[in-house]
Structure 1
Amino acid sequence: MSAKPLPDEASAGAPPDKRRVRGHQPKRVIGYRGDRILMHRAMRRLAFPLSRWVDVLGIPLALTIGYCAIWPMVAALWQRIIGFWNVALEGQVRLAAVKALVPGFGSIPYPHSDAALPTSVQWLVGMIVTLVLLFGTRFISGRALPLAYWLRFIGVVQASAQFYFFIWPASFPYDGGGSIGSLMQASVVVVLITPWLYALIYNVLDFGFVRKLVLSVMGMAYLTVFIPFQYTLASVVLLKGSMLWYPQIFLLWAVFLQFGMLVGFYAWAMSWKARGAKNAT
Protein backbone atom coordinates (compact mmCIF):
# COMPACT_ATOMS: atom_id res chain seq x y z
CA MET A 1 0.00 0.00 0.00
CA SER A 2 1.63 3.22 -1.14
CA ALA A 3 1.83 6.22 1.16
CA LYS A 4 -0.18 9.32 0.31
CA PRO A 5 1.93 12.05 -1.24
CA LEU A 6 2.64 15.13 0.77
CA PRO A 7 0.59 18.25 -0.07
CA ASP A 8 3.55 19.92 -1.75
CA GLU A 9 4.28 16.74 -3.75
CA ALA A 10 0.62 16.42 -4.80
CA SER A 11 0.60 19.92 -6.16
CA ALA A 12 3.88 19.50 -7.96
CA GLY A 13 2.18 18.09 -11.05
CA ALA A 14 -0.59 20.65 -11.08
CA PRO A 15 -0.59 23.62 -13.45
CA PRO A 16 1.43 26.63 -12.30
CA ASP A 17 -1.68 28.71 -11.52
CA LYS A 18 -3.09 25.88 -9.35
CA ARG A 19 -0.02 25.28 -7.20
CA ARG A 20 0.16 26.51 -3.61
CA VAL A 21 3.42 28.07 -2.63
CA ARG A 22 4.16 27.89 1.08
CA GLY A 23 4.04 31.39 2.65
CA HIS A 24 2.16 32.86 -0.33
CA GLN A 25 -1.39 31.68 0.24
CA PRO A 26 -4.08 33.64 -1.66
CA LYS A 27 -5.99 36.23 0.35
CA ARG A 28 -9.27 34.99 1.71
CA VAL A 29 -12.20 36.94 0.29
CA ILE A 30 -15.07 34.57 1.12
CA GLY A 31 -16.40 34.32 4.68
CA TYR A 32 -17.41 31.09 6.43
CA ARG A 33 -21.04 31.73 5.44
CA GLY A 34 -20.14 32.12 1.80
CA ASP A 35 -20.49 35.92 1.69
CA ARG A 36 -17.77 38.15 0.32
CA ILE A 37 -15.42 39.83 2.80
CA LEU A 38 -15.25 43.51 1.86
CA MET A 39 -12.14 45.60 2.41
CA HIS A 40 -12.34 47.68 5.57
CA ARG A 41 -12.78 51.39 4.95
CA ALA A 42 -9.61 52.13 6.92
CA MET A 43 -7.61 50.27 4.24
CA ARG A 44 -9.22 51.89 1.23
CA ARG A 45 -7.39 54.56 -0.69
CA LEU A 46 -9.08 57.96 -0.75
CA ALA A 47 -9.80 59.36 -4.20
CA PHE A 48 -8.53 62.92 -4.19
CA PRO A 49 -8.98 64.79 -7.48
CA LEU A 50 -7.19 68.07 -7.99
CA SER A 51 -10.49 69.94 -7.93
CA ARG A 52 -10.92 69.04 -4.25
CA TRP A 53 -8.14 71.42 -3.33
CA VAL A 54 -10.76 74.13 -3.83
CA ASP A 55 -12.71 72.59 -0.93
CA VAL A 56 -9.64 72.08 1.25
CA LEU A 57 -8.01 75.48 0.73
CA GLY A 58 -10.60 77.72 -0.88
CA ILE A 59 -13.44 77.31 1.63
CA PRO A 60 -11.41 77.99 4.82
CA LEU A 61 -9.50 80.84 3.19
CA ALA A 62 -12.69 82.55 2.01
CA LEU A 63 -14.40 82.10 5.37
CA THR A 64 -11.39 83.41 7.29
CA ILE A 65 -11.22 86.53 5.13
CA GLY A 66 -14.97 86.97 5.41
CA TYR A 67 -14.94 86.68 9.21
CA CYS A 68 -12.16 89.23 9.45
CA ALA A 69 -14.24 91.57 7.29
CA ILE A 70 -17.37 91.26 9.45
CA TRP A 71 -15.50 91.34 12.77
CA PRO A 72 -16.70 94.89 13.62
CA MET A 73 -20.29 93.61 13.38
CA VAL A 74 -19.41 90.57 15.53
CA ALA A 75 -17.81 92.80 18.16
CA ALA A 76 -20.90 95.03 18.15
CA LEU A 77 -23.11 91.96 18.63
CA TRP A 78 -21.02 90.81 21.59
CA GLN A 79 -21.22 94.28 23.12
CA ARG A 80 -25.00 94.27 22.88
CA ILE A 81 -25.29 90.79 24.41
CA ILE A 82 -22.95 91.57 27.30
CA GLY A 83 -24.58 94.97 27.75
CA PHE A 84 -27.99 93.34 28.03
CA TRP A 85 -26.79 91.06 30.81
CA ASN A 86 -25.05 93.99 32.47
CA VAL A 87 -28.46 95.63 32.86
CA ALA A 88 -30.23 92.38 33.76
CA LEU A 89 -27.66 91.57 36.48
CA GLU A 90 -27.73 95.13 37.82
CA GLY A 91 -24.12 95.89 36.96
CA GLN A 92 -22.57 92.84 38.63
CA VAL A 93 -21.04 91.90 35.28
CA ARG A 94 -19.63 94.86 33.35
CA LEU A 95 -18.68 95.33 29.72
CA ALA A 96 -14.92 95.60 29.21
CA ALA A 97 -12.48 95.20 26.32
CA VAL A 98 -9.10 93.57 25.81
CA LYS A 99 -6.62 93.90 22.96
CA ALA A 100 -7.07 91.13 20.40
CA LEU A 101 -4.32 88.63 19.68
CA VAL A 102 -5.28 88.59 15.99
CA PRO A 103 -3.73 91.49 14.05
CA GLY A 104 -6.27 93.99 12.77
CA PHE A 105 -9.05 92.95 15.14
CA GLY A 106 -8.55 95.85 17.53
CA SER A 107 -10.21 95.02 20.85
CA ILE A 108 -12.44 92.18 22.01
CA PRO A 109 -15.40 92.91 24.31
CA TYR A 110 -15.77 90.62 27.31
CA PRO A 111 -17.77 90.43 30.57
CA HIS A 112 -15.82 91.61 33.61
CA SER A 113 -16.64 90.66 37.20
CA ASP A 114 -14.84 91.36 40.47
CA ALA A 115 -14.33 87.76 41.50
CA ALA A 116 -12.41 87.27 44.74
CA LEU A 117 -10.56 84.47 46.50
CA PRO A 118 -12.81 81.90 48.18
CA THR A 119 -13.99 82.38 51.73
CA SER A 120 -14.04 79.48 54.17
CA VAL A 121 -17.75 78.93 53.49
CA GLN A 122 -17.24 78.94 49.71
CA TRP A 123 -14.35 76.51 50.05
CA LEU A 124 -16.51 74.21 52.19
CA VAL A 125 -19.35 74.29 49.66
CA GLY A 126 -16.88 73.46 46.90
CA MET A 127 -15.57 70.54 48.92
CA ILE A 128 -19.07 69.15 49.39
CA VAL A 129 -19.71 69.38 45.66
CA THR A 130 -16.38 67.64 44.98
CA LEU A 131 -17.19 64.74 47.32
CA VAL A 132 -20.60 64.31 45.71
CA LEU A 133 -19.01 64.18 42.26
CA LEU A 134 -16.36 61.69 43.33
CA PHE A 135 -18.38 59.32 45.49
CA GLY A 136 -22.03 60.02 44.72
CA THR A 137 -21.62 58.84 41.14
CA ARG A 138 -20.98 55.26 42.29
CA PHE A 139 -24.75 54.77 42.22
CA ILE A 140 -24.86 55.57 38.50
CA SER A 141 -24.61 52.43 36.39
CA GLY A 142 -25.86 50.85 33.20
CA ARG A 143 -26.09 53.02 30.14
CA ALA A 144 -25.42 56.13 32.22
CA LEU A 145 -21.98 54.86 33.24
CA PRO A 146 -20.13 57.20 30.81
CA LEU A 147 -21.87 60.11 32.56
CA ALA A 148 -20.55 58.83 35.89
CA TYR A 149 -17.00 58.75 34.52
CA TRP A 150 -17.34 62.31 33.22
CA LEU A 151 -18.69 63.59 36.55
CA ARG A 152 -15.84 61.90 38.38
CA PHE A 153 -13.35 63.56 36.08
CA ILE A 154 -14.95 66.92 36.89
CA GLY A 155 -14.61 66.00 40.56
CA VAL A 156 -10.90 65.23 40.16
CA VAL A 157 -10.29 68.62 38.54
CA GLN A 158 -12.19 70.38 41.31
CA ALA A 159 -10.38 68.36 43.98
CA SER A 160 -7.06 69.74 42.72
CA ALA A 161 -8.50 73.28 42.95
CA GLN A 162 -9.74 72.61 46.49
CA PHE A 163 -6.29 71.43 47.52
CA TYR A 164 -4.55 74.43 45.94
CA PHE A 165 -6.81 77.04 47.54
CA PHE A 166 -6.53 75.29 50.89
CA ILE A 167 -2.71 75.40 50.88
CA TRP A 168 -1.77 78.48 48.78
CA PRO A 169 -4.87 80.68 48.34
CA ALA A 170 -3.01 84.00 48.29
CA SER A 171 -0.59 82.93 45.55
CA PHE A 172 -3.24 82.37 42.86
CA PRO A 173 -1.94 84.46 39.93
CA TYR A 174 -5.21 85.25 38.09
CA ASP A 175 -8.12 87.62 38.60
CA GLY A 176 -11.71 87.26 37.49
CA GLY A 177 -11.75 90.04 34.92
CA GLY A 178 -8.43 89.49 33.18
CA SER A 179 -8.86 85.71 33.04
CA ILE A 180 -12.16 85.95 31.18
CA GLY A 181 -10.61 88.44 28.76
CA SER A 182 -7.83 85.96 27.97
CA LEU A 183 -10.35 83.19 27.38
CA MET A 184 -12.29 85.43 25.00
CA GLN A 185 -9.09 86.07 23.05
CA ALA A 186 -8.46 82.34 22.72
CA SER A 187 -12.06 81.77 21.65
CA VAL A 188 -11.73 84.21 18.75
CA VAL A 189 -8.79 82.14 17.53
CA VAL A 190 -10.92 78.99 17.82
CA VAL A 191 -13.56 80.55 15.55
CA LEU A 192 -10.92 81.46 12.96
CA ILE A 193 -9.36 77.98 12.88
CA THR A 194 -12.74 76.22 12.67
CA PRO A 195 -12.93 76.14 8.83
CA TRP A 196 -9.31 74.97 8.64
CA LEU A 197 -10.01 72.19 11.11
CA TYR A 198 -12.96 70.99 9.06
CA ALA A 199 -10.89 71.32 5.89
CA LEU A 200 -8.44 68.74 7.23
CA ILE A 201 -10.93 66.19 8.54
CA TYR A 202 -14.08 66.71 6.43
CA ASN A 203 -13.40 68.63 3.23
CA VAL A 204 -11.01 65.92 2.06
CA LEU A 205 -14.01 63.59 1.75
CA ASP A 206 -16.54 63.46 -1.08
CA PHE A 207 -19.51 65.26 0.49
CA GLY A 208 -19.91 68.03 -2.05
CA PHE A 209 -18.94 71.68 -1.97
CA VAL A 210 -22.20 72.98 -0.50
CA ARG A 211 -22.22 70.60 2.46
CA LYS A 212 -18.61 71.40 3.31
CA LEU A 213 -19.34 75.10 3.16
CA VAL A 214 -22.47 74.71 5.30
CA LEU A 215 -20.62 72.74 7.99
CA SER A 216 -17.90 75.38 8.38
CA VAL A 217 -20.36 78.29 8.37
CA MET A 218 -22.57 76.49 10.87
CA GLY A 219 -19.69 75.88 13.28
CA MET A 220 -18.40 79.46 13.07
CA ALA A 221 -21.87 80.99 13.45
CA TYR A 222 -22.73 78.82 16.43
CA LEU A 223 -19.53 79.72 18.27
CA THR A 224 -19.99 83.40 17.44
CA VAL A 225 -23.36 83.46 19.19
CA PHE A 226 -22.40 81.04 21.97
CA ILE A 227 -19.16 82.68 23.18
CA PRO A 228 -20.58 85.85 24.81
CA PHE A 229 -23.26 83.85 26.65
CA GLN A 230 -20.68 81.24 27.69
CA TYR A 231 -18.32 83.72 29.31
CA THR A 232 -21.04 85.88 30.81
CA LEU A 233 -22.21 82.79 32.67
CA ALA A 234 -18.61 82.03 33.63
CA SER A 235 -18.22 85.56 35.02
CA VAL A 236 -21.34 85.11 37.14
CA VAL A 237 -20.05 81.78 38.45
CA LEU A 238 -16.74 83.36 39.43
CA LEU A 239 -18.52 86.30 41.05
CA LYS A 240 -20.86 84.15 43.13
CA GLY A 241 -18.56 81.20 43.75
CA SER A 242 -15.14 82.94 43.80
CA MET A 243 -11.98 82.06 41.88
CA LEU A 244 -12.22 78.57 43.34
CA TRP A 245 -14.05 77.57 40.16
CA TYR A 246 -11.66 79.17 37.68
CA PRO A 247 -9.57 76.00 37.11
CA GLN A 248 -12.80 74.18 36.32
CA ILE A 249 -13.86 76.84 33.82
CA PHE A 250 -10.41 77.15 32.26
CA LEU A 251 -9.87 73.41 31.71
CA LEU A 252 -13.34 72.06 30.94
CA TRP A 253 -15.86 74.80 30.22
CA ALA A 254 -14.01 77.21 27.94
CA VAL A 255 -12.11 76.26 24.76
CA PHE A 256 -12.47 72.54 25.57
CA LEU A 257 -16.26 72.87 25.45
CA GLN A 258 -16.08 74.77 22.17
CA PHE A 259 -14.04 72.04 20.51
CA GLY A 260 -16.52 69.51 21.85
CA MET A 261 -19.30 71.36 20.03
CA LEU A 262 -17.28 71.36 16.82
CA VAL A 263 -16.80 67.61 17.15
CA GLY A 264 -20.55 67.25 17.57
CA PHE A 265 -21.21 69.16 14.34
CA TYR A 266 -18.59 67.02 12.59
CA ALA A 267 -20.23 63.80 13.81
CA TRP A 268 -23.59 65.01 12.53
CA ALA A 269 -22.12 65.98 9.16
CA MET A 270 -20.48 62.56 8.82
CA SER A 271 -23.96 61.02 8.95
CA TRP A 272 -24.79 62.73 5.65
CA LYS A 273 -24.44 60.42 2.67
CA ALA A 274 -21.45 61.01 0.48
CA ARG A 275 -22.05 61.68 -3.19
CA GLY A 276 -20.63 58.29 -4.18
CA ALA A 277 -22.97 56.51 -1.75
CA LYS A 278 -26.25 57.84 -3.13
CA ASN A 279 -26.80 54.93 -5.46
CA ALA A 280 -25.05 52.32 -3.34
CA THR A 281 -26.99 49.24 -2.35
Structure 2
Amino acid sequence: MTARTSGPILVTGGSSGIGAAVARLSVARGWPVVITYRSQQAAAAALVAELRDAGGEAHALAADVAKEGDVVRLFAEVDARFPGRPLAGLVNSAGIGGRHGPVGTFTGEDLAALWATNVTGTIIASREAVARFSRSGAGAIVNVSSMAATIGGRPGASAYAASKAAVDTFTVGLAKEVAARGIRVNAVRPGFTDTAMTRRVTDDPAALAAIAATIPANRIATAEEVARPIVWLLSDEASFVTGARLDVSGGGFVIGGRPLEA
Protein backbone atom coordinates (compact mmCIF):
# COMPACT_ATOMS: atom_id res chain seq x y z
CA MET A 1 0.00 0.00 0.00
CA THR A 2 1.48 3.34 -1.00
CA ALA A 3 -0.96 6.10 -1.93
CA ARG A 4 -3.62 4.43 0.18
CA THR A 5 -1.67 4.30 3.43
CA SER A 6 -3.59 7.24 4.87
CA GLY A 7 -6.82 5.24 4.76
CA PRO A 8 -7.61 2.73 7.51
CA ILE A 9 -7.50 -1.04 7.59
CA LEU A 10 -10.65 -2.45 9.20
CA VAL A 11 -10.14 -5.75 11.04
CA THR A 12 -13.30 -7.45 12.27
CA GLY A 13 -12.80 -9.59 15.34
CA GLY A 14 -9.54 -7.76 15.89
CA SER A 15 -9.41 -7.73 19.68
CA SER A 16 -7.51 -11.02 19.93
CA GLY A 17 -5.94 -13.87 18.00
CA ILE A 18 -5.20 -13.55 14.30
CA GLY A 19 -7.08 -10.26 14.02
CA ALA A 20 -5.02 -8.66 16.78
CA ALA A 21 -1.82 -9.89 15.14
CA VAL A 22 -2.95 -8.32 11.85
CA ALA A 23 -3.57 -5.03 13.67
CA ARG A 24 -0.09 -5.05 15.20
CA LEU A 25 1.64 -5.76 11.90
CA SER A 26 -0.47 -3.17 10.08
CA VAL A 27 0.45 -0.46 12.56
CA ALA A 28 4.09 -1.48 12.22
CA ARG A 29 3.75 -0.69 8.49
CA GLY A 30 2.35 2.73 9.32
CA TRP A 31 -1.27 1.94 8.46
CA PRO A 32 -4.16 3.28 10.56
CA VAL A 33 -6.23 0.44 12.02
CA VAL A 34 -9.78 -0.01 13.25
CA ILE A 35 -10.50 -3.22 15.12
CA THR A 36 -13.94 -4.49 16.05
CA TYR A 37 -15.10 -6.49 19.02
CA ARG A 38 -18.39 -8.06 20.03
CA SER A 39 -17.90 -8.75 23.74
CA GLN A 40 -14.19 -8.33 24.48
CA GLN A 41 -14.24 -4.60 25.16
CA ALA A 42 -11.39 -4.70 27.70
CA ALA A 43 -9.13 -6.67 25.35
CA ALA A 44 -9.91 -4.29 22.48
CA ALA A 45 -9.16 -1.24 24.62
CA ALA A 46 -5.89 -2.77 25.79
CA LEU A 47 -4.82 -3.51 22.23
CA VAL A 48 -5.67 0.01 21.06
CA ALA A 49 -3.62 1.44 23.94
CA GLU A 50 -0.71 -0.84 22.99
CA LEU A 51 -0.88 0.22 19.34
CA ARG A 52 -1.05 3.90 20.20
CA ASP A 53 1.88 3.56 22.61
CA ALA A 54 3.80 2.11 19.66
CA GLY A 55 3.07 5.29 17.70
CA GLY A 56 0.21 3.92 15.65
CA GLU A 57 -3.24 5.24 14.86
CA ALA A 58 -5.81 2.78 16.20
CA HIS A 59 -9.48 2.68 17.16
CA ALA A 60 -11.84 0.02 18.49
CA LEU A 61 -15.53 -0.15 17.63
CA ALA A 62 -18.20 -2.50 18.93
CA ALA A 63 -20.03 -4.54 16.30
CA ASP A 64 -21.63 -7.96 15.97
CA VAL A 65 -21.00 -8.97 12.37
CA ALA A 66 -23.91 -11.42 12.60
CA LYS A 67 -26.23 -8.38 12.63
CA GLU A 68 -26.53 -6.45 9.37
CA GLY A 69 -27.47 -3.25 11.18
CA ASP A 70 -24.29 -3.42 13.25
CA VAL A 71 -22.16 -3.87 10.13
CA VAL A 72 -23.79 -0.93 8.34
CA ARG A 73 -23.32 1.27 11.43
CA LEU A 74 -19.71 0.11 11.78
CA PHE A 75 -18.75 1.24 8.29
CA ALA A 76 -20.54 4.56 8.78
CA GLU A 77 -18.54 5.11 11.97
CA VAL A 78 -15.29 4.34 10.18
CA ASP A 79 -16.23 6.87 7.48
CA ALA A 80 -16.94 9.47 10.15
CA ARG A 81 -13.63 8.90 11.95
CA PHE A 82 -11.58 9.19 8.74
CA PRO A 83 -13.08 12.05 6.71
CA GLY A 84 -11.35 12.35 3.37
CA ARG A 85 -9.35 9.18 4.03
CA PRO A 86 -11.10 6.31 2.26
CA LEU A 87 -11.04 2.80 3.62
CA ALA A 88 -7.99 0.96 2.26
CA GLY A 89 -8.53 -2.61 3.39
CA LEU A 90 -10.86 -5.03 5.14
CA VAL A 91 -9.88 -8.19 6.98
CA ASN A 92 -12.86 -10.41 7.76
CA SER A 93 -11.36 -12.10 10.80
CA ALA A 94 -14.46 -12.33 13.01
CA GLY A 95 -15.63 -15.91 13.30
CA ILE A 96 -16.90 -18.56 15.66
CA GLY A 97 -16.24 -22.27 15.94
CA GLY A 98 -19.82 -23.13 16.77
CA ARG A 99 -20.92 -26.42 18.27
CA HIS A 100 -18.62 -29.38 17.73
CA GLY A 101 -20.01 -32.88 17.55
CA PRO A 102 -21.87 -35.29 15.29
CA VAL A 103 -24.23 -33.72 12.77
CA GLY A 104 -27.12 -35.27 14.69
CA THR A 105 -26.42 -32.94 17.62
CA PHE A 106 -26.79 -29.70 15.64
CA THR A 107 -29.93 -27.60 15.85
CA GLY A 108 -31.16 -25.06 13.36
CA GLU A 109 -30.33 -22.37 15.91
CA ASP A 110 -26.71 -23.61 16.14
CA LEU A 111 -26.34 -23.53 12.38
CA ALA A 112 -28.02 -20.14 11.98
CA ALA A 113 -25.62 -18.57 14.49
CA LEU A 114 -22.60 -20.16 12.81
CA TRP A 115 -23.67 -19.07 9.34
CA ALA A 116 -24.66 -15.56 10.43
CA THR A 117 -21.17 -14.83 11.77
CA ASN A 118 -18.86 -16.81 9.50
CA VAL A 119 -20.64 -16.44 6.18
CA THR A 120 -23.33 -13.75 6.18
CA GLY A 121 -21.20 -11.40 8.28
CA THR A 122 -18.29 -11.80 5.86
CA ILE A 123 -20.51 -11.14 2.85
CA ILE A 124 -22.25 -8.09 4.34
CA ALA A 125 -18.97 -6.54 5.51
CA SER A 126 -17.50 -7.16 2.06
CA ARG A 127 -20.54 -5.53 0.48
CA GLU A 128 -19.99 -2.39 2.53
CA ALA A 129 -16.27 -2.34 1.77
CA VAL A 130 -16.79 -2.84 -1.98
CA ALA A 131 -19.18 0.12 -2.07
CA ARG A 132 -16.43 2.33 -0.64
CA PHE A 133 -13.61 0.83 -2.68
CA SER A 134 -15.64 1.34 -5.85
CA ARG A 135 -15.78 5.07 -5.12
CA SER A 136 -12.06 5.36 -4.34
CA GLY A 137 -10.96 3.05 -7.15
CA ALA A 138 -8.90 0.71 -5.00
CA GLY A 139 -9.07 -1.60 -2.01
CA ALA A 140 -8.24 -5.05 -0.71
CA ILE A 141 -10.26 -7.63 1.20
CA VAL A 142 -8.76 -10.64 2.95
CA ASN A 143 -11.13 -13.26 4.30
CA VAL A 144 -9.91 -15.53 7.08
CA SER A 145 -11.02 -19.00 6.06
CA SER A 146 -9.64 -22.30 7.36
CA MET A 147 -7.92 -25.44 6.18
CA ALA A 148 -11.05 -27.15 7.51
CA ALA A 149 -12.73 -26.04 4.28
CA THR A 150 -10.45 -28.33 2.28
CA ILE A 151 -11.06 -31.63 4.09
CA GLY A 152 -14.42 -31.27 5.83
CA GLY A 153 -12.81 -30.31 9.12
CA ARG A 154 -11.50 -32.37 11.98
CA PRO A 155 -13.93 -34.84 13.58
CA GLY A 156 -17.00 -33.02 14.87
CA ALA A 157 -16.37 -29.84 12.89
CA SER A 158 -18.25 -30.53 9.66
CA ALA A 159 -20.60 -27.54 10.02
CA TYR A 160 -17.72 -25.19 10.77
CA ALA A 161 -15.85 -26.58 7.76
CA ALA A 162 -18.90 -26.01 5.57
CA SER A 163 -19.09 -22.37 6.66
CA LYS A 164 -15.44 -21.82 5.74
CA ALA A 165 -15.90 -23.58 2.41
CA ALA A 166 -18.64 -21.04 1.72
CA VAL A 167 -16.16 -18.25 2.53
CA ASP A 168 -13.69 -19.75 0.04
CA THR A 169 -16.28 -19.87 -2.73
CA PHE A 170 -17.50 -16.35 -1.99
CA THR A 171 -13.91 -15.08 -2.10
CA VAL A 172 -13.33 -16.38 -5.62
CA GLY A 173 -16.69 -15.19 -6.91
CA LEU A 174 -16.38 -11.69 -5.47
CA ALA A 175 -12.80 -11.36 -6.71
CA LYS A 176 -13.96 -11.92 -10.28
CA GLU A 177 -16.89 -9.54 -9.85
CA VAL A 178 -14.85 -6.56 -8.65
CA ALA A 179 -11.38 -7.01 -10.17
CA ALA A 180 -11.98 -4.48 -12.96
CA ARG A 181 -12.74 -1.85 -10.31
CA GLY A 182 -9.27 -2.14 -8.80
CA ILE A 183 -10.48 -4.22 -5.87
CA ARG A 184 -8.67 -7.37 -4.80
CA VAL A 185 -10.25 -10.18 -2.75
CA ASN A 186 -8.29 -13.09 -1.31
CA ALA A 187 -8.56 -15.65 1.45
CA VAL A 188 -6.04 -17.04 3.88
CA ARG A 189 -6.67 -20.58 5.14
CA PRO A 190 -4.88 -21.15 8.44
CA GLY A 191 -4.20 -24.54 9.86
CA PHE A 192 -4.47 -25.12 13.60
CA THR A 193 -3.36 -21.86 15.24
CA ASP A 194 -2.65 -20.84 18.82
CA THR A 195 -5.48 -18.42 19.65
CA ALA A 196 -8.03 -17.95 22.41
CA MET A 197 -10.45 -20.11 20.39
CA THR A 198 -8.03 -23.06 20.54
CA ARG A 199 -6.70 -22.53 24.07
CA ARG A 200 -8.61 -25.55 25.38
CA VAL A 201 -6.37 -27.70 23.17
CA THR A 202 -3.13 -25.74 23.40
CA ASP A 203 -3.24 -25.80 27.21
CA ASP A 204 -3.37 -29.61 27.16
CA PRO A 205 0.08 -31.02 26.26
CA ALA A 206 -1.28 -34.40 25.18
CA ALA A 207 -3.97 -32.86 22.96
CA LEU A 208 -1.49 -30.39 21.50
CA ALA A 209 0.94 -33.20 20.66
CA ALA A 210 -1.84 -35.17 18.99
CA ILE A 211 -2.78 -32.19 16.82
CA ALA A 212 0.86 -31.44 15.97
CA ALA A 213 1.32 -35.04 14.84
CA THR A 214 -1.25 -34.45 12.06
CA ILE A 215 0.66 -31.44 10.67
CA PRO A 216 3.71 -32.05 8.45
CA ALA A 217 5.62 -29.24 10.20
CA ASN A 218 4.85 -31.08 13.48
CA ARG A 219 3.67 -27.94 15.26
CA ILE A 220 0.81 -25.47 15.23
CA ALA A 221 1.00 -21.89 13.98
CA THR A 222 1.29 -18.70 15.93
CA ALA A 223 -1.21 -15.95 15.22
CA GLU A 224 1.56 -13.75 13.82
CA GLU A 225 2.58 -16.43 11.32
CA VAL A 226 -0.94 -16.30 9.90
CA ALA A 227 -1.13 -12.52 10.09
CA ARG A 228 1.99 -11.90 8.01
CA PRO A 229 0.55 -13.24 4.72
CA ILE A 230 -2.72 -11.43 5.43
CA VAL A 231 -0.88 -8.13 5.70
CA TRP A 232 1.09 -8.96 2.55
CA LEU A 233 -2.17 -9.57 0.66
CA LEU A 234 -3.42 -6.17 1.82
CA SER A 235 -0.31 -4.47 0.51
CA ASP A 236 0.65 -3.29 -2.95
CA GLU A 237 3.27 -6.06 -2.96
CA ALA A 238 0.33 -8.34 -3.84
CA SER A 239 -1.06 -5.96 -6.46
CA PHE A 240 -1.77 -8.70 -9.03
CA VAL A 241 -3.04 -11.30 -6.56
CA THR A 242 -6.80 -11.71 -6.40
CA GLY A 243 -9.13 -14.66 -6.09
CA ALA A 244 -6.41 -16.64 -4.29
CA ARG A 245 -6.87 -18.98 -1.36
CA LEU A 246 -3.55 -19.13 0.43
CA ASP A 247 -2.93 -22.10 2.71
CA VAL A 248 -0.97 -21.15 5.85
CA SER A 249 -0.95 -24.56 7.39
CA GLY A 250 2.51 -26.00 7.93
CA GLY A 251 1.96 -28.36 5.03
CA GLY A 252 -1.69 -29.25 5.49
CA PHE A 253 -2.91 -32.45 7.14
CA VAL A 254 -1.41 -35.89 7.62
CA ILE A 255 -4.28 -37.93 8.96
CA GLY A 256 -3.16 -40.76 11.18
CA GLY A 257 0.12 -39.40 12.45
CA ARG A 258 3.40 -37.83 11.50
CA PRO A 259 4.82 -38.37 8.02
CA LEU A 260 7.66 -40.85 7.65
CA GLU A 261 11.14 -39.40 7.94
CA ALA A 262 12.90 -39.03 4.60
The TM-score, its normalising length taken from structure 1, stands at 0.28
* Larger Cα-atom Rg: 1
**Structure with greater contact order relative to length (CA < 8 Å, sep ≥ 6):** 1
The TM-score, its normalising length taken from structure 2, stands at 0.29
